[in-house]
Amino acid sequence: MSVDMNQFHDVFFEESQEHLDEMEKLLLTLNVSEPDAEELNSIFRAAHSIKGGSGIFGFDALTRVTHVMESLLDLARNHKMVLTHSIVDQFLSTVDTLKTILANYKAQVDQDDSLIANTTQSLQHLLADQQELNQKKADEQGFGFFDQPQTSLKQDDSFGFFDEVAPQQHDDGFGFFEPLTGQEHPTELSQPNAEPETKPVKSELKTPNVSTASDASKNAVSAEASSIRVDTNKVDLLVNMVGELVITQSMLSLIGQQITGPMSEKLQTALGELVRNTREIQDAVMSIRMLPISFVFNRFPRLVRDLSTKLGKQIQLEIEGGNTEIDKSLIEKLADPLTHLVRNSIDHGIESPEKRLAAGKPEKGTVILRAQHRGGNIQISIIDDGAGLCRERILAKAAENSIAVPDNSTDKEVWQLIFAPGFSTAEQVTDVSGRGVGMDVVKRNITSLGGHIEIESTAGEGATFHIFLPLTLAILDGMGVSVADSLFVIPLVNIVESIQPEPSQVKTIKGEYLLRVREEYWPLLCLYKEMQLTPRYTQPEHGIVVLIESNSTRFGLFVDALEGQQQAVIKSLEKHYKRVPGVAGASIMGDGGVALILDVESLSKQVKHTLMKDMS
Amino acid sequence: MNKSKTESEKAVDAESQPQEFLSFVLGNEHYALDIMSVKEIRGYEPVTKIAKAPAFIKGVLNLRGDVVPIIDLRIKFDIGEPVYNEFTIVIMLNVLNRIVGIVVDAVSDVVTLQGDEILPPPEFGVAFDSNYLKGLATIDEKMLILVDIEALIGSEELGLITNTDAIAQG
């Protein structure tokens, strides 16, 4: 029995969380001066559903708070309360409280009673104020006589402005039977309402103080997406199994090539089918894990709103490409670094309104969050039109922290300095940012996701942070290369092209090879040296050079031969062994052997090293 | 790691409980390890070499979708000749939440030992550091060296597990 209850609890927690998120989202987009009746109804319904559910499970704290909130929302949707920014703020903070309460119930820890009491109290104040106001209005407008004959009002739907003083009601229309005490007892819990949802109220009866009762009667059918909840572990299992299937399929293809005779043609056709089907299954399964990036982006309107109020700045947040899909596991890990960057943009980037006006910029700063597909990557940009990074300040700070900076370093190199641990150039440490913990963590988080981060900045015009991330962490499109009989995979995204160099293209400087390709000299790295193997060829002109572009540099990688493009299912080396320098992971090939996936970034560090040595 | 060590110590202490060991041959010496840590036994197959790894780490192998490291104890402890032929055996171990393969010359038997049959390990005279030994036993007048395989695999000396991992596992 108790197990069964727990199961329901989980569903309730999940649903309530969604309701709260929905409420927050709607509250943020709500047009305060002309609230959309449908939106208000949705917020009300969300609050009501939480109240109903929490009542069933005996989560009293939730019931208490949602109850008062619901009463207020009911006023608002019936046009008996004029919404203001401060009221919306109050609602938002209530949503926060509800989230805390929900989390506490979920974690089965004690509730913070003072928090609940405070929230309830301030909501009650609001409610009392509104009642007073409405009462006054009603009196002024001469509707006082309604006070008496409540029963003469038509059943249902027809509540006047009296039922708001009877917030215990669950079903509209019973309000008139409550004593009109003008007082309310929030702690007095009425039987929780087990009904799934109250019907949206249709206020045909025009309320006297608002002339347009308008579209509350609009049918409140919110299009429900047909979806099911699945445990992420199940999805992960499926992804793993499809990975194995892909390996088995390529093994079969390999065997199929060796078969000759009359059956071979039929076999080839069937194998061709199999290849196509596994591809499609793979894509379909991967897409299960994909979620629109708006899941992360949606938290930012709130953050920006809160921060800009706190810092006294005017900021407009624009979100672009919220529908861009990205792997779920990436989404979860993106939230923190993105939050940090957005905070930074607001705190350090955007100037105060006075400064902005003085600089001839619009008073209102703009922060743009943009997501887009770019090649095999997702690019997320955080763009602000603030002051930009200050080169002098960063350099001064670097000197202060005794970080060595080469002379004449480019802007790009200077910007990367802010990712050093303990680095903060904020003139003043605020509780928003500036303590210098963070940017290094941001960079580490992004790198651990297989991505990288770039900065563009123009003094006085703003700064842009670009985050590049792989679409998924599980499968990689790569090019197979070999040295002797060892196979390696190079991520396709890093490859510019592959060439068989002419002897005339190969130059040497102090024993290091350089390759001349179309007016450019590419430093060459010999994979056999890096991997300590005995190669077939030691002269670049005999083998193949793969031109590679990493975040920081470009170089050529000299290998024996190309083995063809492949989809590599990434396997961790660290699971059973440990991290290997120059290697990002392993992949199992069609013949069952293991190929190492090269880590282009760490290889490129080798290049830098040799090049710098040459120049000195 | 500590936990597993105390567990293995407990196993030795529990005199009444008979324990099963898998005995194997390195050079001319006979060794044995706790059979519960053995995942499977298979013939030696070519492995994928790993750069900048010590010589005793032969490389990695695909074990039904898992990429597992293969180490040759003969090279590490300089016992016998590291030859690889159709008789060379790899014991796949499941220790410390990892799969690791060890190359040995041969696998001989499964032996059951009572707690009182196990003698304390010698301080020297064996290729292995005494930290990795559980004790000695005599079977058919042959000396059997009982290896504490978890301590060995988790040891810094082998360097299979980085320190942070070991703490996380502990």
Task: Note the pLDDT tens digit of each residue in B2-24.
Answer: 444 444 454 445 455 788 999 99
Q: Grade residue A380 by pLDDT with cuts at 50, 70 and 90.
A: very high
Mean pLDDT (whole number) for A590-611: 77
pLDDT at A519: 77
Tell me what pLDDT residue A213 has.
Answer: 37
Q: Is the separation of the CB atoms in A470 and A535 below 8 Å?
A: no
DSSP B130: G
Predicted local distance difference test score (pLDDT) of residue A149: 43
- Span of A154-158, A298-302, A372-376, A550-554 with lowest mean pLDDT: A154-158
| Those residues with Cβ within 8 angstroms of residue A334's Cβ, 6 or more apart along the chain or in another chain | A293, A296, A326, A380, A449, A467, A469
Q: DSSP per residue over B55-122, as a string?
A: TTEEEEEEETTEEEEEEEHHHHTT-S----STT-EEEEEEETTEEEEEEESEEEEEEEE-GGGPBPPP
Instruction: List all residues 6 or more positions away from A10 whose beta carbon is below 8 Å from its beta carbon.
Output: none
Summarize the confidence of residues A483-501 as an average pLDDT. 88
The strands making up A506-509's β-sheet, listed across from edge to edge, are A495-499, A544-549, A554-559, A520-526, A512-517, A506-509
ipTM score above 0.85: no
Residue A169 clears pLDDT 50, i.e. is over it: no
> Which chain B residue shows the shortest CA-CA distance from A245?
B65
Cα gap A525→A522, rounded to integer Å? 10
In the β-sheet with B29-34, what is the strand arrangement from edge to edge?
B106-113, B19-26, B29-34, B142-147, B133-139
What's the rounded mean pLDDT across residues A71-83? Answer: 79
pLDDT in tens, A189-238: 444 444 444 444 444 444 444 333 333 333 434 445 577 878 878 887 88
Count CB atoms within 10 A of the CB of residue A6.
10
- Could you tell me if A515 and A522 are in contact, meaning their C-beta atoms sit under 8 angstroms apart? yes
**A491: number of Cβ within 10 Å:** 22
Mean of the per-residue pLDDT values of chain A: 76
Q: What are B124-136's pLDDT values in tens digits? A: 666 667 778 888 8
Predicted pLDDT of residue B11: 47
- What pLDDT is attached to residue A376? 64
> From A532, which residue of chain B is nearest by alpha-carbon distance?
B51
C-alpha distance from B87 to closest chain A C-alpha (Å): 21
The count of other CB atoms within 10 Å of the CB of residue A210 is 15
Contact B68 A593 (CB under 8 A): no
From the list B48, B62, B65, the residue facing A596 with the nearest CB is: B48
How far apart CA B70 and CA B62 sit, in angstroms, is: 10
The pLDDT value recorded for residue A29 is: 80
Helices (H), A429-552: 439-448, 527-530
A225: which strand partners?
Answer: none
Coil, strand or helix at A554: strand
pLDDT tier at A43, thresholds 50, 70, 90: confident
pLDDT at A548 over 70: yes
Q: Which of A477, A469, A515 has its CA nearest to residue A495?
A: A477
Tell me what pLDDT residue B126 has.
62
What is the pairing mode between strands A495-499 and A512-517?
unpaired
Taking Cα atoms as reference points, which of A560, A409, A580, A398 lies closest to residue A485?
A: A560
CB proximity under 8 Å: A 297-336 to B: none
- pLDDT tier for residue A532 given thresholds of 50, 70 and 90: confident
Q: Do A576 and B50 touch (CB under 8 A)?
A: no
For A437-485, the pLDDT digits (tens) are 567 788 878 877 777 888 888 888 888 999 988 776 667 778 999 998 8
Distance from CA of A606 to the nearest CA of B (A): 14
Give mean pLDDT, residues A25-48.
81
Residue A458: predicted pLDDT: 86
Output the CA angle A557-A563-A567, nearest 5 degrees. Answer: 100
User: How would DSSP label each residue in A210-263?
Assistant: -S--GGGGS-------------HHHHHHHHHHHHHHHHHHHHHHHHHHH--STH
Residue B83 Cα distances to A124, B42, B71, angstroms: 83, 16, 13
Rounded Cα–Cα distance for residues B98 and A436 (Å): 38
- Mean pLDDT for the stretch of residues A519-546: 87
Distances (CA, A) of B168 to A444, A578, B1, B3, B53: 20, 14, 9, 12, 23
* pLDDT grade for B117, boundaries at 50, 70 and 90: confident
- pLDDT score for B164: 46
Q: B69 to chain A, minimum CA–CA distance in Å?
A: 6
Q: A571–B61: do the CB atoms touch at under 8 Å?
A: no
For residues B113 and B137, is the Cβ–Cβ distance under 8 A?
yes
Pick the residue from chain A with its C-alpha nearest to B50.
Answer: A531
Q: Per residue in A457-485, is it b (16+ CB within 10 Å) or e — as a string?
A: beeeebbbbbbbbbbbbbbbbbbbbbbee
User: A542: which DSSP letter?
Assistant: G
Q: CA nearest B95 in A: which residue?
A: A576
pLDDT in tens, A228-259: 878 878 887 887 788 778 878 877 888 888 88
The pLDDT of residue A401 = 76
Report pLDDT for B60. Answer: 92
Spatial separation of the C-alpha atoms in residues A484 and B108, rounded to whole Å: 36
Mean pLDDT computed over A60-64: 82
Bridge-based pairing state of the strands A325-327 and A365-374: unpaired
Max mean pLDDT range (A126-140, A422-436, A572-586, B92-106): B92-106
Mutate to test the interface with A, among B42, B50, B98, B99 (most CBs of A within 10 A): B50
| Residue B147 bridge partners (DSSP) | B33, B133
- pLDDT above 70 for A432: no
Say if A266 is an interface residue toward chain B (CB within 8 Å).
no
Residue that wins the pLDDT comparison between A565 and B92: B92
Looking at every residue in chain B, the average pLDDT score rounds to 80
Percent of chain A's residues with pLDDT above 70: 79
Q: Dump pLDDT digits (tens) for A257-281.
A: 888 888 888 888 898 899 889 888 8
Q: Taking a C-beta distance cutoff of 8 angstroms, is the pair B151, B5 a contact?
A: yes
How many angstroms separate the CA of residue A507 from the nearest CA in chain B? 27
- C-alpha distance from A602 to closest chain B C-alpha (Å): 14
Residue A533 one-letter amino acid: L
